[in-house]
Chain A
């Protein structure tokens, strides 16, 4: 079994270990999950290291050539007569997404330390979900990809339905059904590609060799983009996201907003843009327009929110809009920015939701106007919150800045296939959201943390515990690392978006 299979196997084995632990030992369950996700983190570090070595640079030219191809490939025939195989591999995009997922699930486990109702089932479902996520990021066979994709979506229903708050059953059902309607679109697109290519294979790389006509690509691309876009909170299919995130328990919000929503952007990029470049060109401007609405609508929506979770959820809609916006620009800068934004938003929003859970666990309210002056009793949490907030409004030195700059530059300079005035105007409109973001982030945080303590009971609240400090510390360190020395990540990602760009420019 290769490294990548282990990456799928470890969370799954941990799931099984959790399932077979007696329910009375719920404290052990937490430790098993922490150890399992810790091992996963170590494996990820090993993968990153080995990937970096395997693709070690001599000169820039060979570097690009090396990073373009897949590494650690494993191929095992599965349903051979249908051209379905177990085909896993990684490129730079996958590696960066795997790093993100490992960090989020590890910190998510720590953030769930105080789940005391049906602990065993909670962790089992959480780990099953993350098995699916890892699977998606390493799959290069569309059947396998789709299988893991749905596996990642479904446990969410029970996680929100059982451990959630508020209108949890409604939110859980809405989320599940909307996401699965999205995957229904994707499925139609996948089958169309499978049969029209005439290759009878679900192998992503082989399908890239097929010559799809322009007409065909033009009708399949929107199916794929919208289908994945639903998970990436594409306007107007984002409505599951605020409800889902605000009802979900802490770790689930972290994982969902941090990682799962990235599957949408990842799928749109990996399958949509890569396999259907002509379709992407035809629809690029349209989706840029749609995602501009996303970005503005999400940030304006966040201004109006009183509940911290709704506040962050709308901010996520806006920030995930940047991801899809970046994809839709179809430029090197834009695609790089999209992947960077997936990473930085994942970390940032994971930090946000984790912190909200920690604050809520203390104050038992999430309403912004009800809180005040909390920085005096919980300085660690307040500082972390501010760092997350500053990252989300794009402060230089933090990860968000790097990503958003790339996206905006990519959009502003435009691509040869869309009207340059239109892309320029859309980009300027999208950029405005940064101002709005500053308004809601600073205003919201100021209300919660600054000023006098409004409620007497808050005087006795405590600051972060050790697991919480480890979790937030890790996330902040990642944000700062990517913000200060982004070149590692940019190199990692740049070469892997080149094949997509090459395919785009080949046809014109």
Chain B
């Protein structure tokens, strides 16, 4: 049963919604357990599905790349639930007003995960578009979840408007392609000749992807939405919107316009250069940790798309591996940020001063995550970045490698600002934060271990690499 993981996620979402109606306040935790269990079973189901197969006459297909994406989505969903539970059930020192309704929250979260999972399996335009909206629309609601906070409402509204604009671009592009081929199948577009209409459609689709993946100049929504959303949703956005954007880009660039990726390479390289440079440079002046993370996420988008440039047998596994490393590092860092915000309500970078003295383990974990994001060896972020840079170099974009490597230095400066507050500055005068709850401790421990080991043990990369070779020969004509 190929669709089993998706079905499990959707059924869990329904079950959470219904259970929420019947559970008393005392047993409200049940919805959390249910969501966690559902996502864990879904992860198992993803493992159990084969890496190739199709349903509904080829409209729903599981392949190696889709398989990995689904696994990443379910895992990030699982950890997001762990990050959210303290806040939703009011078990934090610093109560955030207006946040609650855990049942509905988890339902909405699970729906966006299911949308992301359908997205990677879709093989026709309609299913692709519908699942993209299923992945995005619940996020609008989640961004606006802090009902009494005006910034959260602003985030939601901004996200809706920009999301609608992105959808318009995508629909225009898809519509043009449909007009050219007369078919809704994604693969049909690959035989198209390079007509003006085709290139116009490609430009529209690139812009749409740009919004989802926060490529400059389509990144403007990110900082405000990240800042307004509740902290766990900020975490989820920074991994999920990246993952969805990347999956969507895989679908369009490899599957739909597979024959044309090479002609698009220079533009991708320019996007990558501008995106990472602007993201890193603007992050220098950010003080709020959420806005800081938004620009960090933007700059990483630039790093990700370097994988589309070069020899695809390197590019595809490199992008998937870096996504895995990025998810582990970002969520590990956010576990620390969520914990600190939960216990103290502090959200600026200056507020992290002296953390290494008061909570040495949490500070260590956050430092490792920051260094991994900055690409410092031997952490997984370094290995992933190294592979992606290598892809760009393989395509002859040596100037881009230079820009990217210099950008890594700027990024390191940014991340060192936080490390400096934690390790060098004196302790915060308002006193230390309470120790982390078990859920955040587990999340931090597991993800920090993962971000260290992923880069050292070659198993994970080899597994991704081994399974995508067949995918490439099937998808890309050589």
Contacts and interface: CB of A to CB of B under 8 A. Distances in A.
A79 B405 contact: no
A161 interface: yes
Given A82-B390, A158-B423, A191-B398, A184 B409 contact: yes
Nearest to B314: A82
B378 interface: yes
B393 A78 contact: no
A154 B368 CA distance: 12
A110 to B, nearest CB: 25
Given A79-B458, A151-B377, A188-B401, A181 B409 contact: yes
A162 B424 contact: yes
B462 A81 contact: yes
For chain B, the bracket of interface size reads 35 or more
A196 to B, nearest CB: 9
Contacts of B432: none
Given A191-B393, A194-B390, A184 B405 contact: yes
Interface string B90-113: 000000000000000000000000
A173 interface: yes
Contacts of B416: 157, 173, 176
Interface stretch (A142-150, A342-350, A365-373): A142-150
Interface string B357-397: 00000000000000100001110001100110110111010
B470 interface: no
A147 B378 CA distance: 6
A130 to B, nearest CB: 15
A150 B382 contact: yes
Contacts of B408: 180, 184
Contacts of A150: 376-377, 382
Interface in A132-191: 143, 146-148, 150-151, 154, 157-158, 161-162, 169, 173, 176-177, 180-181, 183-185, 187-188, 191
A82 B394 CA distance: 12
A195 B458 contact: no
* Of listed B356, B377, B409, B419, residue having the most chain A CB within 10 A: B377
A80 interface: yes
B341 interface: no
A192 interface: yes
Main secondary structure of the interface of B (DSSP, over half): helix
B197 interface: no
Given A151-B377, A180-B412, A191-B398, A161 B405 contact: no
A180 B71 CA distance: 35
B389 A191 contact: yes
A187 B405 contact: yes
A79 B462 contact: yes
Given A181-B406, A187-B389, A194-B390, A80 B462 contact: yes
A456 B178 CA distance: 92
Nearest to B393: A191
Contacts of B386: 143, 146
A276 to B, nearest CB: 15
Interface string A68-92: 0000000001111110000000000
A195 B420 contact: no
B405 A78 contact: no
A143 B455 CA distance: 12
Contacts of A82: 314, 387, 390
Interface in A189-206: 191-192, 194-195
B409 A180 contact: yes
B329 interface: no
B73 interface: no
A13 to B, nearest CB: 15
B295 interface: no
B465 interface: yes
B393 A184 contact: no
B199 interface: no
Interface in B403-445: 405-406, 408-409, 412-413, 416, 419-420, 423-424
B387 A184 contact: no
Interface in B214-232: none
A149 B393 CA distance: 21
B405 A188 contact: yes
Interface string B444-478: 00000000000000100110010000000000000
Contacts, number: 86
Nearest to A191: B393
Nearest to A147: B377
A363 B323 CA distance: 54
Interface string B127-165: 000000000000000000000000000000000000000
Contacts of A154: 371, 376
Main secondary structure of the interface of A (DSSP, over half): helix
Nearest to B360: A23
A82 B416 CA distance: 31
B311 to A, nearest CB: 9
B398 A188 contact: yes
Interface string B317-328: 100000000000
A191 B458 contact: no
A429 B371 CA distance: 44
B445 to A, nearest CB: 15
A146 B394 CA distance: 18
A493 B105 CA distance: 68
Interface in B226-250: none
A481 to B, nearest CB: 35
B175 interface: no
A158 B423 CA distance: 8
A80 B458 CA distance: 9
Contacts of A188: 393, 398, 401-402, 405
Contact of A176 (B356, B383, B412): B412
Contacts of A177: 409, 412-413
A141 to B, nearest CB: 13
Contacts of A192: 393, 398
Interface in B48-67: none
A169 B413 CA distance: 12
B382 A169 contact: no
Interface in B1-40: none
A6 B41 CA distance: 43
A394 B96 CA distance: 69
B196 to A, nearest CB: 34
Nearest to A193: B393
Nearest to B317: A81
Contacts of A147: 377-378, 382
A173 to B, nearest CB: 7
A184 B402 contact: yes
A80 B383 CA distance: 14
Nearest to B469: A81
A169 B417 CA distance: 10
A191 B371 contact: no
Contacts of A79: 383, 458, 461-462
A272 to B, nearest CB: 17
B285 to A, nearest CB: 16
Nearest to B399: A188
Interface in A433-463: none
12 contacts: A77-B458, A79-B458, A79-B461, A80-B458, A146-B377, A146-B386, A151-B378, A157-B419, A180-B412, A185-B402, A185-B405, A195-B396
Interface of B: 314, 317, 356, 371, 376-378, 382-383, 386-387, 389-390, 392-394, 396, 398, 401-402, 405-406, 408-409, 412-413, 416, 419-420, 423-424, 458, 461-462, 465
Interface of A: 77-82, 121, 143, 146-148, 150-151, 154, 157-158, 161-162, 169, 173, 176-177, 180-181, 183-185, 187-188, 191-192, 194-195
Top 5 A-B pairs ranked by shortest CB distance? A184-B405, A191-B393, A147-B377, A180-B409, A161-B424
Given A154-B371, A158-B419, A173-B413, 14 more contacts: A79-B383, A79-B461, A79-B462, A81-B465, A82-B390, A150-B376, A150-B377, A150-B382, A151-B376, A162-B424, A176-B416, A184-B405, A184-B408, A188-B398
